[in-house]
Amino acid sequence: CHLIHYLRLSHHLIVLNYVIGTFDKLKSVSSERVTITDAVFDGVEVRVFEPPAKQDETLKRSVVYIHGGGWALASARTSLYNNLCRIMAESLNAVVVSVEYRLVPEVCFPEQFHDALRATKHFLHPDVLAEYSVDPSRVAISGDSAGGNLAAAVCQQLSKEEHMAVRPKLQALIYPVLQAFDFNTPSYQQNMNMPVLPRYVMINYWIDYFNGNYDLAHSLVINNHTALDVSQALSFRGRLNWTSLLPSSFKKNYKPVIQTTGKAEIVQKLPALLDVRAVPLLAENEILQRQPKTYVLTCENDVLRDDGVMYAKRLENAGVEVTLDHFDDCFHGCMIFTIWPTDFSAGVQTRNSYIKWLDENL
């Protein structure tokens, strides 16, 4: 059984590797419209996209972008993310910093978080912003999928640091993965076998991120790790109650899966399951109140849909200005698929909406 499960996962990752083009790393080839350079920010590799300076302009706005891929795949230098960040730099006339954080299996949590945080804090230093001619009051932090997870976690951490001279103006999260508390939200139930990101693959991304064992997967699927008798999970339950956080159009007729008795040892083996640096949706309200103006993009055909919707609702309840941009006919990961042979209308549609929001708010 475990061998079959492993082979299914391995096949899925091989296909994703091919589609995302993990091994298709592009050199920093600049053009007339965008200068692309590779740099190191506090020990973390980044790729910087800079549009040409305009005569009547002194400072530019900027986006720190953190790519997706389950904390294990892709790169700031692959053609798909290179293309996205170049188009963002051109469309927004903004400096885009794409973070090349280390991946599973080289490192596991919390190292991806630390890489993203270190690179972002380095860039937000006034001297570095000045070097790139960036307006300190017009910086956004953004990311998709696992990169959306890291972007949200970095924003939360920055909001706790009292001595930051520069803080992000916005955060923009694209179908972010934000919680490992409940793998039976309506979107997880509805899309459990959806291509690109089936539920079992997302759970195994979490296990790999936490350097855990695949033997735990079945218990996680049925929420044994957050059963009513798991004391470590009790204080978090109210922060992720989808029956109150989701609108009826998303709840549909799905029922909560809450075990009476479970396995507390799962949380002992994987304490990061309840670590807000890994699961930003579980943050306390005091932290959410400090978050910047937020954009959350979600797709109907995505197990992670409800993660984004619930985070948007919790932020809104905490007094943060939020735009929830939901696409009924789109799927997880679609936004990077805009170039042949994976050029989908869903990709162009979501990318244009995302860039439009940044342009109007940054």
Please give the full DSSP string across 77-119, using - where no structure is assigned: TBHHHHHHHHHHHHHHTEEEEEEE---TTT--TTHHHHHHHHH
Residue matched to tokens 């991120």: 209
CATH number at residue 294: 3.40.50.1820
Per-residue pLDDT tens over the stretch 98-125: 999 999 999 999 999 999 999 999 999 9
Q: How far apart are CA 284 and CA 1, in angstroms?
A: 39
Q: Quick one: pLDDT at residue 22?
A: 45
4, pLDDT greater than 50: no
The answer to whether residue 126 is domain-embedded is: yes
Other C-beta atoms closer than 10 Å to the C-beta of 226 total 25
Q: How far apart are CA 184 and CA 240, in angstroms?
A: 12
Mean of all residue pLDDT scores within the chain = 92
Assign 35 a pLDDT band (cuts: 50, 70, 90). Answer: very high
Q: Quick one: pLDDT at residue 6?
A: 47
Q: Quick one: pLDDT at residue 25?
A: 66
Q: How far apart are CA 352 and CA 318, in angstroms?
A: 28
Q: Quick one: pLDDT at residue 299?
A: 96
- Annotated catalytic, 302? yes
Query: 33: helix, coil or strand?
Result: coil
Q: Are 192 and 199 in contact (CB under 8 A)?
A: yes
The answer to whether residue 32 is domain-embedded is: yes
Q: How far apart are CA 306 and CA 250, in angstroms?
A: 8
| Count of domains forming the chain | 1
- Annotated catalytic, 332? yes
Q: How far apart are CA 94 and CA 361, in angstroms?
A: 13
Per-residue pLDDT tens over the stretch 298-332: 999 999 999 999 999 999 999 999 999 999 999 99
Q: How far apart are CA 137 and CA 129, in angstroms?
A: 10
Question: Which residue is catalytic, options 144, 302, 306, 325?
Answer: 302
Per-residue pLDDT tens over the stretch 244-271: 999 999 999 999 999 999 999 999 999 9
For residue 114 the two structure tokens come to 């630390």
- What is the Cα 77 distance to its own chain's centre? 17
Structural domain that includes position 113: 20-180+272-361
Q: What is the DSSP letter of 64?
A: E
- Annotated catalytic, 91? no
How large is the average pLDDT for residues 121-149? Answer: 98
Q: Are 225 and 262 in contact (CB under 8 A)?
A: yes
Query: 305: helix, coil or strand?
Result: helix
Residues 6+ apart with CB under 8 A from 317: 285
Q: Quick one: pLDDT at residue 20?
A: 53
The answer to whether residue 73 is domain-embedded is: yes
The answer to whether residue 115 is domain-embedded is: yes
The answer to whether residue 13 is domain-embedded is: no
Burial of residue 5 (number of CB atoms within 10 Å: 0-12, 13-18, 19+): middle
The answer to whether residue 147 is domain-embedded is: yes
Burial of residue 151 (number of CB atoms within 10 Å: 0-12, 13-18, 19+): buried
Residues 335, 84, 178, 139, CA torsion sign: negative
Predicted model pTM? 0.93
Residue matched to tokens 């679609």: 334
Q: Are 97 and 63 in contact (CB under 8 A)?
A: yes
Task: Report the length, in residues, of the chain.
Answer: 362
The answer to whether residue 256 is domain-embedded is: no
Q: Quick one: pLDDT at residue 58?
A: 84
Name the residue among 320, 321, 319, 330 with its Cα closest to residue 297: 330
The answer to whether residue 98 is domain-embedded is: yes
Q: Quick one: pLDDT at residue 57?
A: 75
- What is the Cα 257 distance to its own chain's centre? 25
Question: Which residue is catalytic, options 142, 145, 159, 187?
Answer: 145
